[in-house]
Structure 1
């Protein structure tokens, strides 16, 4: 598996894998690599047609023309409890115990009514672990009754047959199970031995039900080289969609800087995802959904961004504009992942959700930002007005404020062209509370001379090793390497 990218907008550089014939063509903004049967550099027009693939199902939360005039959120991610039966080493909310004053059933049903009146079209129930709250089927059923799509994200440690049946009866349409690598890697990241097999068992129960099955995966220094093998597992499960996001230094992940990718690692992440989409996902009708912190622009935007084949591209953080987040004790934020201390607009016990969205400065700031609010590299970027520094959660978790985000493929390629790279360095630890962050600094340094194309590695693992890794393998890493990556510092 030969991985390559280029910043030269006049040419395309190919990806190559024996036996691969599918072509990935260019995006209209720049260019995307192609997949050929042998490693070779090829010059070609940058406006070749996109590959034919199954028509992706448009989520209920997708913005429609009529939504632009109304301008209120369409999607809500709702943490209904912070209780959790896993102990994930990268959990941003440090989930485990329920919050002291979580909303009652009556209050939750009132929240559902408010969401429907606001115009929310999809609600995703999360935790902690959502199914640990006894009234979750009642909440889900009310969401469905009010005409909204209800989905759920789970670690899948104990999504029993009974719970899947309850999900079906309550009208849940989609359940996404977290899988962060192969067995040994996943178990270590999730903090429980047997978590991988439990998640697979839960996924199979979902696949055997009328509910659509998704998987969500965090990309970090342990999971990245295992993604091709993990995709083989996902294909066997029969998933409908795969959502990916970068691990962000919030919560327990802030305690483990060695787990985080560096910005220059995106130079390997993006061609790998392009390869997986073209060769393993699209041919099987599996949708790839890059999370909001996987971006931005550059040669892979149209191919990897959901519905990118229709000309869709990243258009800025949707927090407070098209999405909101609710915490289990009633706090309202523009995004469920944003730090509670800085981005809570109000509590549903004190102010309605509609009023919070419309009037509180914490949510208004997120949706009304301009280029004037950007700083550092992002302030001067060609895409500044459209991108607005990408994911607010990522930039604040790293640097203590929004407006500058080094985790960007366009930016990484620009630095590579100059013979430089950016590295993030931890300078301050996190407090140990849910949704807490430390602080990192960006160091610009000379880029090391790169090996020839065929000898380049993915985080030190050869391309051949990554390509040949089986989904049945415990991990690509030794146990000692995993322990070191998860060490607190």
Structure 2
């Protein structure tokens, strides 16, 4: 994740230590005092879901996957993550609220010292459910809303899903559970971006996660619905502008970009144009510490039956299963050629990535998108929207070079 609000507006957040090794410069209580040494783990607690979203990376449906982890096995997984020093576990799905033992497992994670957070479609989040999860130790709920009512409901396969998700957000806020809104942009819902951001203010949410489409699960089936790179650039520019406008009015919305590390280079370019060279270089220093695309390093996934994946989007490639070996043993075993390649990608990146001046803060972006579209793991990410004059190794750094005038 890349925080627009932190980098452009200086908004402190509880993740400053985790992401930027900047806990000592943040006024907010921190998730951790130092940059993460272990991955954040997404656990797809079930494949079962009450919706059928077009972009679902897990390919969720109405039924559980055969052989999903039992409560006891899930606690064993959490024990392994805690022993390894995993800082955060994200309970995802499917729809994790369809697991009756979710509050019990959230409490178990919290008791073992792992920060439990939730990714949900929000439609099952009643006030009672939100209160129970908060009492169990849940620290944050991210609710997915992919556009305003008409587009969201079409995207998610159920009429009324938008209104139910908004009620879920309000239920979390009513019980004091920190809540954010998650939005994945496509051709279908791009016109709703500003309306979705305005929805935040209307319901009182102060965190917005803007996701780029990754080509995993059903997301691969709608890759042709992804925005062309220039329009993606326009959308990111809009979000940067909106964030600054809200902060100028005293509304401290936390906005984050997820899933395309071309955003890192773009934020440096944006800051240089709008805020000056010194601010741009401060942003670059933060992003150097952040480390670029985290696949296979700072993010991991465990699916409903215990298979470990490079990220939640790489469901088609398993590194091992926690029923056979502890998570730590699987994650540390670089005998897997794909895992080893991802951890040694810097010198292998080809095309425009090879000499890009932002390679150290991007690291080639999504290797999954590159692989799915070209068959080459080290080809450029097709969703890189940076311009040639911006990525050239000998590009000048002061404001005013070619391409700075407009997007």
Does the alignment reach a TM-score above 0.5? yes
Q: Who is 2:330 aligned against?
A: 356
Residue 318 of structure 1 aligns with which residue? 294
Deviation at 1:236, TM superposition (A): 1.2
1:274 aligns with 2:231: no
Query: Per-residue deviation at 1:125?
Result: 0.3
Deviations 1:316-345 (A, max 9, x none): 22223222111110011221111423xx21
Deviations 1:227-266 (A, max 9, x none): 1111111111111311111123333233334421112222
Note the 1:21-420 alignment, pairs <5 A.
Answer: 53-58=10-15, 61-62=18-19, 64=21, 72-96=37-61, 97-280=63-246, 283-293=250-260, 295-301=262-268, 311-313=285-287, 315-341=291-317, 344-362=318-336, 364-365=339-340, 368-403=343-378, 404-411=380-387
Question: In 2, are the aligned partners of 1:175 and 1:211 still within 8 Å (CA)?
Answer: yes
Q: Which is greater in Rg?
A: 1
Aligned length: 366
Check conservation: 1:346, 1:360, Cα contact below 8 A.
Answer: no
Q: CA deviation at 1:400?
A: 3.6
Which digits, 9 at most, give the CA deviation of each residue in 1:128-160, with x for residues without a partner? Answer: 000101111111100000111110011012212
In 2, distance between residues paired with 1:248 and 1:193? 25
Q: CA separation in 1, counterparts of 2:91 and 2:220?
A: 24
Aligned to 2:286, the other structure's residue is in SS state: coil
Greater alpha carbon shift after TM alignment, 211-220 vs 281-290: 281-290
SS of equivalent residue, structure 1 residue 243: strand
Match of 2:199, SS state, is helix
Mean alpha-carbon deviation: is it higher for 245-254 or for 59-68? Answer: 59-68
Are 1:61 and 1:122, in contact at CA under 8 Å, matched by a contact in 2? no
Q: Please, what TM-score do these two structures have when normalized by structure 1? A: 0.68
Q: How far, CA to CA, are the matches of 2:247 and 2:373 in structure 1?
A: 32
State the alpha-carbon separation in 2 of the partners of residues 200 and 412 from structure 1: 41
Deviations 1:3-58 (A, max 9, x none): xxxxxxxxxxxxxxxxxxxxxxxxxxxxx9xxxxxxxxxxxxxxxxx865542332
1:199-243 per-residue CA deviation (whole Å, 9 max, x = no partner) reads 000000011112101111001112222111111111111113111
Task: Note if contact 2:261-2:293 (Cα within 8 Å) is conserved in structure 1.
Answer: no
> Which residue in 2 is equivalent to 1:483?
none
Specify whether residues 55 and 365 from structure 1 end up closer, same or farther in structure 2 by C-alpha distance, changes over 3 A only. Answer: same
Equivalents in 1 of 2:34, 2:166: separation in Å? 43
Distance in 1 separating the partners of 2:325 and 2:35:
21
Q: Which whole-Å CA distance do the structure 2 matches of 1:381 and 1:137 have between them?
A: 46
Q: Distance in 2 between matches of 1:52 and 1:293?
A: 21
Distance of 1:111 and 1:63 partners within structure 2: 28
Distance (Å, rounded) in 2 between the aligned partners of 1:58 and 1:71: 10
Over the aligned positions, Cα root-mean-square deviation in angstroms equals: 3.1
Q: Work out whether residues 129 and 154 of structure 1, in 8 Å CA contact, stay in contact via their aligned partners in 2.
A: yes
User: What TM-score comes out, normalization by structure 2 length?
Assistant: 0.81
More displaced 10-residue stretch of structure 1: 114-123 or 290-299: 290-299
Structure with more of its chain in strand, by fraction: 1
Instruction: Quickly say closer, same or farther: Cα 1:252–1:301, change in 2 above 3 A.
Output: same
Q: CA 1:334/1:240 → structure 2, altered by over 3 Å: closer, same or farther?
A: same
Residues of 2 paired with 1:412 and 1:203: CA distance? 42
CA distance in 1, matches of 2:349, 2:123: 41
- Judging changes above 3 Å, is the alpha-carbon distance between structure 1 residues 296 and 412 closer, same or farther for their aligned structure 2 residues? farther
Aligned residue for 1:356, secondary structure, equals helix
- Contact 1:246–1:294 (Cα < 8 Å) also in 2: no
Q: Distance in 1 between matches of 2:153 and 2:331?
A: 39
162-171 or 145-154: bigger deviation:
162-171
Per-residue CA shift, 1:418-439, capped at 9, x if unaligned?
xxxxxxxxxxxxxxxxxxxxxx
Matched-pair contact (CA < 8 Å) for 2:9–2:244: no
Unaligned runs of 5+ in 1: 1-31, 33-49, 416-452, 457-489
Residues 58 and 315, structure 2, Cα contact 8 Å, conserved in 1:
no
d(CA) in 2 for partners of 1:301, 1:323: 24
Contact 1:395 1:405 in 2 (8 A): yes
